[in-house]
Amino acid sequence: MPPAPGTDFPAKAVPLREDVGVLGALLGDVIKAQGGEELFNRVEKARLAARDRRSGDSEAAAELLSTLGDLTPNDAQEVVRAFSAYFGLVNLAEKIHRIRRGRTYLADESGPQPGGLHAVIAELAEGGCSADELLAIIRSMRVVPVFTAHPTESHRRTLLLKDQRIARALVDRIDPAKLLPRENQAALARIKEEVATAWQTEEFLRIRPEVADEVEQTAFYLSDAIYRVLPALYDQIHTAFQKTYGSDITEKINKPVLTFASWVGGDMDGNPKVGADTISATLFRHRELILRRYRAELEDLFGRFSHSLSRVDIATDLRNRISNYETEMPAILDTISPRYRDMPYRVFLSYVAARVDATRADAEHAYSSPEELLSDLHCIEESLSEHRGEHAGQHRILRLIRRVQTFGFHLATLDVRQDALMHRTVVGHLLGAEGFLEMDREQRTALLEAALADPAHTPSNIEQPEVVQALAVIHAIKDGLQRFGKRAVGPYIISMAQGPDDALALLYLAKVGGLEDENGCTPLDVAPLFETVNDLQHGPATMAALFDNPVYRDHLKARGDHQVIMLGYSDSNKDSGFVASRWALYQAQIGLSETCRDAKIGNTLFHGRGGTVSRGGGKTRDAVLASPPGTVGGSLRVTEQGEIIHAKYGLRGIALRTMELMLGAVLEVEARDDTEEAPDPRWIEVMDRMAVASRQSYRSLVYDDPAFVQYFREATPIDVIERLLIGSRPASRRSGAGVENLRAIPWVFAWTQCRHILPGWYGLHAGLEAVRAQFGTDILKEMAAKWRPFSNLLADVEMVLAKADMPIAGQYAKLCADVGDQYYSVIHTAFDETCEHLCAIQGTTTLLENEPVLYRAIQLRNPYVDPMSLLQVDLLKRWRAGGSTDEELLHALFTTVKGIAGGLQNTG
């Protein structure tokens, strides 16, 4: 499969074109060998017809439909797998090209790679920031990517490992001209082997994964690629300072600026499989995995640290520690070979390794905390520093120190999340308050305050099943904090929080469950999550009322007067549409930050961003730079959804780039915040008008028209998605076929599959038209040129529109016999109007005219997504006609879902 014709590859992208060409030819060989000439010819015929259709050939569309019509489920599945395999290789080739471009910048002394730490630090230095000022900002930064599971994440770990091996082979031939012919052929042979074995591997599990499977999947990225490249991130900071200021700051960053968290195993919201047991098991597994990595690294250091006392001395502190360990742990000394007794670092590392083993086993001589381990490691580093060890191992021990500082004994902080309604139900039982759910917030707050203030309070109904489960979670958190340390458990997030009583309800549960320290304080951060547009708008008032509550204020004081507040991107978009959601989130960040400042409370805004634009996704760097002035505060906590973790952290080079872009953005925003001007008040007025009009348009279609749900359920493959066995969490929060009951992720996933991608743009046409009528077009052009939040919004929508395909969407609309034409006409008209508005504002004639790299990436894919989409339509029609019971057709549909997701690089 060659690249789509007409795809423009500038000189710097020629290696990408060559990689895609080589990989496409290799895939063709595999298809012939594995599926036979008939399959290969069918795929080629479909590919050529899809290509010609995109080129405007009026007969090609009919040819494509004819080629793909009435295939057996197995034949359809094989065709889809061929295209899906192509996209998998193209995606890998693009990642390798990103790594190649990064290396090019490193080799070119003309300037650093844009967006990277070196570029940001150099730019800030040119703007007048001193080394001390930047160092102070870096030392105060708190950046936390939070990994989540994903009910539409369709990558099997077995296939992820194959991807990594293919990527390593591609890296080996990153510059084929410098390889011997046999080296190039060996790399291609390894790739072909992985592609062929992947072809023979089942793409989908036949059973739904358990929470433990998702924990392993997430921990795989943390303990593999991220663990390996993390020290290089600090090396980049040090190199950037050295080149920019001529100063060495190696010893001046003594705590991590980047740490990790996870929801996997702790997110109970709507997932009955998550609870006390999974919280405890996840915390234990996290510790096991990270201590195992430390143990392997200590073993490696043992092999390298052959320093002999006859050649070099050691520090007095190290000598004393060895002596103490010989006394305290004589059995370990007996295991050290006599030939190593003259090698003090090996002797000392043997004791350190033994204590790590004891920590894993909860045995005698275990480290009581990561700080104790760090003390031993610092002792080695200081000894090396004092005795000519700069190039004799010091850097290696510093790398391990950075890892222990970051991952501790917990790998990733485990957040806990539960729906506020569930808490209210449980608390109503415990208080013995009949009608608690029907009370107003003030009444609930008063009851909770009284119970929290009463030391003799006795809870009721503690045998109720919901109460037992909720208190078991509190006990698991308490045990986790005691066994694994205070960093092991993160904030407790309250979904759909609406009032101060929701936060007090959690403090009350903690009190009843015994989660209080010696001072009677709850050692847990309470994090309200505002999810709908209405809740976001009322968020500042809710937090102000909470800060005024004396019970909660005492809790905050014990937590260092710092508040975590989470913002929900997915549900606000599903609730009110893309534009209204974006604007509500922007205003909420300002209002919440001001509320916290007025109350003299520090805060971290926790961004619950999804992987797609429709759920707040997009480039993290752009989103951070578009934050309202004064709302970041050197702190970024953001979800990394399961669907994009593989894309952002699956390969070491990409993981490193992901992390440095994140840090660079926070550094840049924090350094500029004092000087950035507030947006023009006219722009605020424009956005207010746009948000209202777009929300009205979106809700009138999605919620106010009762027949629209039929179009959604028939013109999208939502019924297939609901049957996919790829996540432990159900697709719906509650029973019922309505849009309001469906989770945001499958809602977006379904619209993406059918190429409408409606949640990522619908409503904007009405918003822009309302603004044009009231304010004119010139102010929109001004905002696009001068205001990053608005230009980002347009860029995100433009990308979504470019991935959508209305003619293909029209084929899906035909699946909805009764109202398909009606709704498709409305959507198609809105789509065209949105495209026209965007081009008018940006002064372009086509989408992505100013984004050639993104345009090329989409052009590489869209022609070859089309055959899979048309196959999906045909299979859906046949499957539903048979009562949705044919398992062969369903399995073929599963394959189309995965293939289209890979081609568009989007799920939910």
Q: What is the reported pLDDT for 411? A: 98
pLDDT tens digit sequence for 529-552? 999 999 999 999 999 999 999 999
| Alpha-carbon distance values, 147 to 227, 417, 420, 493, 532 (Å) | 15, 13, 22, 14, 22
Give CA–CA dist 122/243, Å, rounded: 9
Class of residue 357 by CB neighbours under 10 A (exposed 0-12, middle 13-18, buried 19+) = middle
Is a pLDDT exceeding 80 seen at residue 8? Answer: no
Least confident of 197-211, 257-271, 696-710, 818-832: 197-211
**Do residues 673 and 632 lie in contact, with contact meaning Cβ atoms separated by under 8 Å?**
yes
- Answer whether 837's CB lies under 8 Å from 765's CB: yes
Confidence of residue 853 (pLDDT cuts 50, 70, 90): confident
Q: How sure is the predictor about 110, in pLDDT bands with cuts at 50, 70 and 90?
A: low
Q: Could you give the CA distance from residue 845 to residue 859 in angstroms, rounded to a whole number?
A: 17
Contact assessment for residue 205 and residue 159, using Cβ atoms and an 8 Å cutoff? no
**147 vs 150: CA distance, rounded Å:** 10
C-alpha dist (Å) from residue 75 to 39, 195, 796, 838, 865? 8, 19, 37, 41, 17
Rounded Cα distance between 584 and 369, Å, is 42
Left, alpha or beta for 313 (phi > 0: left; psi -120 to 50: alpha)?
Answer: beta
Residue 134 has pLDDT above 50, yes or no: yes
The kind and range of the H/E element at 261 are strand 261-262
Percentages of the chain per state (helix, strand, coil), in multiples of 5: 65, 5, 30
For position 908, what pLDDT does the model report? 44
What CA–CA distance (Å, rounded) separates 337 from 353? 15
Q: Residue 611 — very low, low, confident or very high, per pLDDT cuts 50/70/90?
A: confident
- Taking alpha carbons only, the member of 542, 412, 445, 433 closest to residue 147 is 412
Could you identify the residue written with the tokens 């029907």? 438
The sign one gets for the Cα dihedral 589, 576, 762, 711 is positive
H helix and E strand count, the chain: 37, 8
Q: Is the pLDDT of residue 771 over 90?
A: yes
Say if CB 823 and CB 714 are below 8 A apart: no
pLDDT tops 80 at residue 385: yes
CB half-sphere exposure, 607, CA atoms < 13 A: 25
| DSSP secondary structure letter of residue 437 | G
Residue with tokens 């001390």: 132
Q: Is the pLDDT of residue 11 over 90?
A: no
Strand partners, 147: 262, 640
pLDDT in tens, 395-451: 999 999 999 999 999 999 999 999 999 999 999 999 999 899 999 999 999 999 999
Lookup: tokens for 241 = 């300072």
Residue 357's pLDDT band (cuts 50, 70, 90): very high
The mean per-residue pLDDT over the stretch 803-831 comes to 96
CB 479 within 8 A of CB 280: yes
68 Cβ neighbours under 8 A, 6+ residues apart: 46, 76, 79, 867, 870, 871, 874
**Greatest distance between any 2 Cα atoms in the chain:** 89
**Alpha carbons 215 and 344: distance in angstroms, whole number:** 39
Cα–Cα–Cα angle for 175, 177, 183, rounded to 5 degrees: 85
Q: How far is CA 681 from CA 386, 687, 783, in A?
A: 59, 10, 11
The Cα angle at residue 217 between residues 211 and 221, in degrees rounded to 5: 145
Q: Give dist(CA 409, CA 13) in Å, integer.
A: 43
pLDDT at 279 over 90: yes
Most confident of the following: 55-64, 162-171, 416-425, 643-652: 416-425
Q: Is 347 helix (H, G, I), strand (E, B) or coil?
A: helix
State the DSSP code for 176: G
pLDDT tens column, 703-724? 999 999 999 999 999 999 988 8
294-351 residue pLDDT tens: 999 999 999 999 999 999 999 999 999 999 999 999 999 889 888 888 999 999 999 9
User: Residue 348 in contact with residue 381, Cβ under 8 Å?
Assistant: no
Residue-averaged pLDDT of the chain: 91
Q: Which residues touch 375 (CB under 8 Å, ≥6 apart)?
A: none
Assess whether pLDDT exceeds 90 at residue 172: no
Q: Residue 810 has which token pair?
A: 């029209």
Tell me how far the alpha carbon of residue 360 is from its chain's centroid.
29
Residue 275 DSSP class? S
**Predicted confidence (pLDDT) per residue in 210-230, tens digit:** 899 899 989 999 999 999 999
- Whole-number CA gyration radius for the chain: 29
Catalytic residue list: 150, 574
CATH fold of 413-608 reads: TIM Barrel (3.20.20)
Sorted by where each begins, the domain ranges of the chain are 261-407, 413-608, 681-850
User: DSSP secondary structure string, 550-564?
Assistant: HHHHHHHHHTTSEEE
Q: DSSP label at 735?
A: S
| Range 177-204 average pLDDT | 89
State residue 439's pLDDT score: 94
Confidence (pLDDT) at 662: 96
Which CATH number, 1.20.1440.90, 3.50.50.60, 3.90.870.30, 3.40.47.10, labels domain 261-407? 1.20.1440.90
Distance CA 158, CA 135 (A): 42
Both tokens of 438, joined, read 């029907």
* Whether residue 906 has pLDDT greater than 70: no
